[in-house]
Each structure stands twice: as C-alpha cells, then as structure tokens.
Structure 1
Amino acid sequence: MFELSQLRCFVAVAEELHFGRAAVRLNMTQPPLSRQIQILERVLDVILLERSNRTVKLTPAGQSFLAEARRLLKLAESAALLAKRVANGKAGSINIGFTATSAYSYVPELVAACRRELPDVEVSLKEMVSGDQLKRLDSGEIDIGLLRPPIPRNGLRSFRVTAEPLIAAVPSGHALARAETVILDELVREPFIMYAPYEARYFHDLLVELFSRTGLVPNYVQHLAQIHSILAMVHSGVGVALVPETATNLHFSGVALRRIELPRQRPAELFFVSRDDNDNPLLPIIASLAKGLAQDLPRTG
C-alpha cells in the first residue's frame, strides 16, 4: 500500500509538471522525489507520469489518480485536525444524564453554554432518575450525571450545581393564593398531593423529613412522580403541593406558586457527577462550564 508521503510527492509533481520545482516546493532534493514517484507507480502497477528530458505530463491514469490523491490528503489532514481538536476538548461527543426536574432550568442553561463555547461538540442528553444515572455512570454509558443526592463516594467526583427552596403550589382561586408567603401549617391542613415514594424518592424523602421535623401530618390524597402531573392536579383542585422553585418556569395556568414560611429549610439539591477514571477530554471543560452556571445559594424562607 502506498504512503501519504508518496501521495504528497505525486501531487506536487503533477501540479508543477516539473521535478525540480516540485522538489523545491517539498523542501527535498530531486533524486528522492523521483524514487518516491517510482515506488508509488510500482505499488499501483500503473504509469502516472510521462517523463522526458524537458517535459513531465500526466497519463490518463495519472489524471484520474490526481483527484483521488488530493481527496485522500485532504481527508488525512482533516482527520489529524479533528484528532487534535478532540484531544484538546474542542470537538467530540459527551453523554449527559439528567433528572426531569433539572430540565426546567439548569440543563437548558448548560446545553446553551456548551453550544456557545463548544460548537463542534455533540451533546447527547438522556433523561433518567438518579439511581439509573449512577448505574449508567458505572457502565460508562454516560459521562456526566446531573442527579440528586446521596452521591456514593467510591470512584466518583461531584459538586453541587443547584440548591433551591421548595415553594407552595395552590389553586389560583384558593384563599392561600392571596398572600405572598404561605405558612406551612396552613398548607398541610389542605388535601395534599405527595410525591411517589419510589418513582420520586428524593422529593418524597425531602418532604417526609420536613414534616417529621416540624411535627406536621398532612392529609395525602395522591402520590405522583412528575411535577407537571402534580401541578395539573393542583390546577384541577385536587389538592395543594410543595414543588421546587424551578417549577415557576413551567408557567402552569390556574396554579399560584408562593414561598413558604419556615425557620429553616433543607434545599432541593442537584449535583454534577462523573467517574474519576473518565478520560474524555471534554469532561473538565464542561465541568468548568457547569461550575460557572452553578446556583449554590439556597433561599430558605
């Protein structure tokens, strides 16, 4: 098989139609240039150039081969440039897992930052619950997880990117919607829409801890997994709920979202998680973008 160096020699001679000028162009002497062309012709088993004492001409085979040689050299150059860009974190692909709630605010901001700063990078998004993300991180199916705590320490690195308070969701015509801030004791006297203990375990446990700490016992009327489903039930008058603050980005009609009055509130947290041994060169760059977007100041009410 021929080598790229032989193609470069052939293209230079074919374009210059003169061995001396081609040798100068390639910064080499004429004899090794001639040998490279001879080797190429022997490998291909065709005559590419007609040589005489004064002229050099392309044979029909040489004319056809010239276009392909140029294409191969361009592909080789592009491949080398791409490899360098990938190695430098300027190109390539990254697989990111995320929870449904994080898509309300943080994930779109991170994707927009990636598109702006890394336009040649392919970002693949995979929505899944936190437990599934940990499994996919372990198998290498995703490079980054945007997930809820707790985060296992073995083999993983993580940092917090959001910490947001819970807010009250009540029907817009409800008496509690008239105030800017809702007292938790008054909220839980109403029929309460709770998170499902398995499908929405993080928010379920967060609320269980809150009610246990405050000594309150809500009247649960439904257990649902998705926040938009909970808001739909609030809209229908089924009950009230507590949702993360980013739910305000859903602009759900017929639902009033109000801050709750609490002496101390544990925020809903989201973490950026990756494996220690992941050598994707894009990972530290996207981690830096993620830290720049991090909203690490919870507003507790």
Structure 2
Amino acid sequence: MPIDTSRSLEFRHLRYFLALAEELHYGRAAQRLAISQPPLSVAIQQLEASVGARLFDRDSKGVRLTPAGAAFRTGAQALLERAEDACALARDVQAGEVGRLRLGFVGSTLFNGLSAWLQAFQASHAKVEVVVVELNSQDQIDALLAEELDLGLVHTDRLPPALAAAPLYSEPFVACLPAQHPLAARASIPLAALSDQPFILFSRKGSPDYHARIVEICRRHGFYPRLQHEGRHWLSVVSLVAQGLGVSIVPAAFQRSGIQGAVFRPLAEAFEPSAVFAAWRRDAAGPLRERFLASAPAWPPPFSP
C-alpha cells in the first residue's frame, strides 16, 4: 500500500485504531468511541493510507489485526500514552503543580519563617523544585531583570518599571550592640544615645533603600551615623557588632540569629518598620509563583527570647 503523504497522522486516528484493535468489531468500537460506524471506517482507511500498510483484515469471519497492525498497535499505544502524559504535564505546569521556582531571599527571612514556608510548600507540591539563593536586595533585583530568578524576597518596593512587588510582612527595627557595651544593660535605647558610636550598616550598594532609611532615621534625631564598617548581608553586620566593632540598627528578626556576643534592645522611639516584599518580573508567566505566594504563612512569627 503506497503512503498517502497528503494526510497527516492524528491522535484521533490512534484512538480509533486502538479501540477497534481491542474490540475487533466496528459496531462495538464505534459505540465505545461515541461515534457512528462510517466515520470510524473512514478514519481507519485514512490511518492505513498514512502508515502505508493494511492494519486490519475484514471478511465474513469478522475483523482481525494484520501482522502489520499487531506491530503498529504496540507503538500506537506507547505514542498515545506519551501524548497523554505530555498533556497532563502541560496542565500541571499551567496550574502551578509542576515546575522549577528560582527563589531569592534576604537573610532576615531565614529568621522569620522562610524555612517552615518552604517545607510546607514542598510537602504539598512534591513535583515542584524550589531552588533558593541568599542575595541582598540589589543583587536580587539585578537577577530578576536578568531572568535568573523567578521570585525575590527583598527589603524594598522601589523597583525598576519591569518589576512588580507585593508586601509580605513588616517588623520593627531594634538596636544591635556588643554584649559588653555600656548601653546593653538598658531595657530600651534612645536613638540619640548612639550618636557618638561607630556604626556598622548594611552596604549602600547592596541595598541603597535600606541604607538610606537608617541614615534618615538617625538624621531625624539630630545626627548622622559615624560609619565604621559596611556589610553586604545582615548576618555580617550582626557578626561585626558581636565582635565589638560598632553598633547597628537591624530588623528584629535577627534576635533569633543566635549569634553570640550581640544583644538586641528595642529603640525607645517609634519608627517606620522594616518591610519585606515579594518581587517578580511583570512580563513573566506566574502560576507557580502565584501558588507559592498564596501559601505564605502568617508573617512574621512572634519572637520568644
């Protein structure tokens, strides 16, 4: 039988073929497929023309698979199953049930429930791979713009136009002091008491918005912080304080960091809190991102000294 190159093989043809191969009766196969018998006969003829081989023999004794049909049956079944698997995978990806999420985070979120969030999400989304990387806010913004991250947890909502943001939670700032510092004995710290102290701040390059906010907090209380050191990660800032190299103002989450030699005290004055935002590219499809954000816990968890 010559191959009819004018007709393409369709999945409909495979389903019809497999139904007839199992029933070996045109009437029963048509009933199973919820079609009439003539369209089934036409589809089988089209399939045989596309394949270039006779797949069924039909005579007074009934319908039988030819040797070519028996050989084709195995491949047809496997091909249809792969197609169905591919369709199911596409639906799962569109629904956010399957895929890979590249997540950036700032260090403070580690002490505000990020690990528990990730564990709970992975428990209910076993087919999703979440790849996490700690980056300061500016590095996350750069990675989002370069399409190297799908979602970032950052300390600012001042973003380039290509990025969108949504608030996750906020928490107070606290004073961070060396354990042996004279002010460490106080229950709370007036900000003016830090005016003559060497400051360790988060890097201006790593998070311009955060750096500027802390400087502005100090300026409103009559002084500019005497900058001694900068760190690109908050844990570096707290570690430098713990070593007696200066004082700092940090998000309250770092009270949970467990770094020996650093103590944390509330600030006597009320300030605008430290905030964490989710950030992503506006032009990026986001079913998986949206599903992950929808599973966010009630943040931040209460602090227990």
TM-score (norm 2): 0.78
> Aligned partners of 1:241 and 1:225: how far apart in 2?
14
Give the secondary structure class of the aligned counterpart of 2:228. Answer: strand
Cα distance change of structure 1 residues 254 and 14 upon mapping to structure 2, 3 Å threshold = same
Q: Greater CA deviation, 112-121 or 66-75?
A: 112-121
CA RMSD of aligned residues (A): 3.4
Aligned to 2:279: 273
Cα distance change of structure 1 residues 229 and 88 upon mapping to structure 2, 3 Å threshold = closer
The correspondence for 1:226, drawn from 227, 233, 245, is 233
Letter in 1 for 2:42: R
How far the C-alpha of 1:4 sits from its partner, in A, is: 0.8
| 1:184 and 2:191 matched | yes
Contact 1:169 1:258 in 2 (8 A): yes
| 1:160 and 2:167 matched | yes
Aligned to 1:46: 53
How far the C-alpha of 1:114 sits from its partner, in A, is: 3.8
Q: Greater CA deviation, 274-283 or 194-203?
A: 274-283
Matched positions, count: 296
> Aligned partners of 1:144 and 1:218: how far apart in 2?
33
| 1:215 and 2:191 matched | no
Aligned to 2:3: none
How far the C-alpha of 1:228 sits from its partner, in A, is: 1.8
Contact 2:137 2:206 in 1 (8 A): no
Aligned to 2:76: 69
Contact 1:160 1:294 in 2 (8 A): no
| 1:22 and 2:29 matched | yes
Q: 1:99-118 residue pairs with structure 2 within 5 A? A: 99-105=106-112, 107-112=114-119, 114-116=121-123, 118=125
Cα distance change of structure 1 residues 220 and 139 upon mapping to structure 2, 3 Å threshold = closer
The correspondence for 2:90, drawn from 83, 93, 96, is 83
Contact 2:175 2:247 in 1 (8 A): yes
Give the secondary structure class of the aligned counterpart of 1:2. Answer: coil
| 1:251 and 2:258 matched | yes
Contact 2:189 2:266 in 1 (8 A): yes
Cα distance change of structure 1 residues 293 and 151 upon mapping to structure 2, 3 Å threshold = farther
Give the secondary structure class of the aligned counterpart of 2:152. Answer: strand
Cα distance change of structure 1 residues 280 and 196 upon mapping to structure 2, 3 Å threshold = closer
Cα distance change of structure 1 residues 65 and 176 upon mapping to structure 2, 3 Å threshold = farther
Aligned to 2:13: 6
> Aligned partners of 1:196 and 1:131: how far apart in 2?
10
Cα distance change of structure 1 residues 181 and 48 upon mapping to structure 2, 3 Å threshold = same
How far the C-alpha of 1:142 sits from its partner, in A, is: 4.0
Give structure 1 stretches of 5+ with no counterpart.
Answer: none
Give the secondary structure class of the aligned counterpart of 1:28. Answer: coil
Q: Greater CA deviation, 117-126 or 235-244?
A: 117-126
Contact 1:162 1:296 in 2 (8 A): no
> Aligned partners of 2:38 and 2:64: how far apart in 1?
18
How far the C-alpha of 1:209 sits from its partner, in A, is: 1.0
How far the C-alpha of 1:103 sits from its partner, in A, is: 4.0
Contact 2:104 2:135 in 1 (8 A): yes
The correspondence for 1:195, drawn from 179, 189, 202, is 202
Give the secondary structure class of the aligned counterpart of 1:199. Answer: coil
- Runs of at least 4 residues off by over 6 Å: none
Q: Deviations over 1:57-91 (max 9, x none)?
A: 43444333222212222222222233333444444
